[in-house]
Amino acid sequence: RCLSDWSSDVCSSDLLAAVADARSKDKRSVYIDSTDARQREIVASYTIPAAVWKSSYRLMLGEKGQPVLEGWAIVDNTTGEDWNKVQLSLVSGRPISFVSQLYAPKYVQRPSAELADDNAARPVVHDEAFQSSMGALAAGGGGRAVPAARTGVVGGIMPPPPPSAAARQFGASAGLSMDAMMVAPSTIVASASAGELGELFEYRIAQPVTIRKDESAMLPFLQQAIEGRKLLIYSDHSSQHPTNAAELTNTSGKTLDGGPITVYDGGAYGGEALMETLKAGDKRLISYAVDLGTRITDAYNSKTAVIREIHATRGIITTKSAMEETRTYTIRNVDQKAKTLILEHPLRGGYTLLSAKPAEKTASAYRFEIQLAAGATQEFPVAEERSIEQTYQVSNSTPDFLLTYVQNRNLTLSDAARRQLQRIADEKSQIAENDRALQDAQGQVSDLTRDEDRIRQNINSLNNVSSQQQLVQNYAKQLDAHEQQLAQLRDHQAELQKKRTALTSELDGLIAALAF
């Protein structure tokens, strides 16, 4: 609705938008005062945030020759003003940078809690190898890119898009000929010069570029053949199939910022991958499709733990044993062509590799390189050994437990150590036998004591009956015999207790002297 008292045709919505814009919190007023009457020329400069530039790549693989890698920089102009023929610098690195709110008042905010979202599956980003079969260390990757303070991009430069899903599925029947689906390197020449910028890496665009506000553009910064080879990677053990992959070595002499890669194999769309920032001379694996022509299954087999070392000191026995585990991978190549497979086997703490030496080692896996013949099936066993260290208190161990070490001839145990353990086991057996005798004597004493209590009750009940005096006298004789047996048993208990004290003292001495 337009305002009726205004001469100009201004609607209320436009007025409200103008008022809201005038009250924008993003605007600040700067006042400059002059303290005298002299005229001056003042130059004011300011900085505004710019969106981070992004990288997108095309990798073209062929049966022969080196792969060709094309890099495209995606830059967004969100500054609110046009960039007209500006010099553009693209900087790759990961400096520590943050925003601190110094102008606005600070309040303590309560956290916001939400339920986690169900996210889609992510692409695989393979770990960097830090050790090869030659023991060499690979250089670390860089970081995300940061833009220069003032950047711009020439608009309208876009790489050819990958074929649609329908075209990939139906081919020429979807209205596209096979020739139309073949992809060749781009005819646009990358004109960016590259160089180190402190700890960062810079791509400087040769020609001035232009991009209007709130628009984006893509700019080629790389088109170069690099060292690489096609292979398969088996890293997801929940699947029976490995992935089609490429091993890329950055021989471009430039730092390649991380980003998505569209892979073309033999001129046709092959799949997509993600790549982390790749320094010059670094090597990385990328996976871009599932290879349905190769199937992999595995099976476990473990052996009984074997004691490798045994030591004793101050009454403590320490054993070091090892248990061998073998994971056998059965690999079937259905296709009638030879393949190279990189098999990733999990790296587990406490396990030592016994089988063939891996080609590479990452922070979480061993990488074995296997050559697969056409249409063949082969087994690849990976044997590992897990070390187990256990300690035992000799004083708490049974004689049978100690005798297992004495009688085990596979242990590297000296004859003197076996004699020490045998004496301790014998001493423990004597103490155990003495304890059983003590327990039997205590049982007899308890039985006689209960019987005496019964006899005394009978005597007390018959003392007042004149006709039962003979029976009372018989009970009295039984009570006297019980007392004599109790006296003998108590003397025997005392002897057994004395013997136990002597045996325990001797055992303590043997345990204290145990050392091998």
- Position 191 scores a pLDDT of 66
- Position 166 scores a pLDDT of 34
Q: How much of the chain, in percent, has pLDDT values that exceed 90?
A: 40
- Rg over alpha carbons for the chain, rounded to the nearest Å, is 43
Using DSSP bridges, classify how beta strands 259-265 and 360-361 pair: parallel, antiparallel or unpaired: unpaired
pTM equals 0.64
Q: State the angle between helix axes of 399-407 and 415-462 in degrees (0 to 180), rounded to the nearest 10.
A: 160
pLDDT digits (tens, 9 = 90+) for 185-210: 776 666 677 777 767 788 888 888 89
95 phi and psi angles, rounded to 5 deg: -70, 155
Chain centroid, CA 217 distance in Å: 38
The helix/strand count (H/E) of the chain reads as 6, 23
Q: DSSP strand E in 47-199: where?
A: 54-61, 68-76, 83-86, 89-92, 131-132, 145-147, 192-197
Helix (H/G/I), strand (E/B), else coil: 470: helix
Q: Return the closest-CA partner of residue 248 out of 78, 129, 115.
A: 129
- Position 182 scores a pLDDT of 63
pLDDT at residue 142 greater than cutoff 50: no
Average pLDDT (251-274) is 91
Which of 40-49, 286-295, 397-406, 428-437 comes out lowest in average pLDDT?
A: 40-49
Per-position DSSP letters for 7-58, written without gaps between them:
SS--BHHHHHHHHHHHT-TT--------SSS-------------PPPEEEEE
Using DSSP bridges, classify how beta strands 365-372 and 360-361 pair: parallel, antiparallel or unpaired: antiparallel
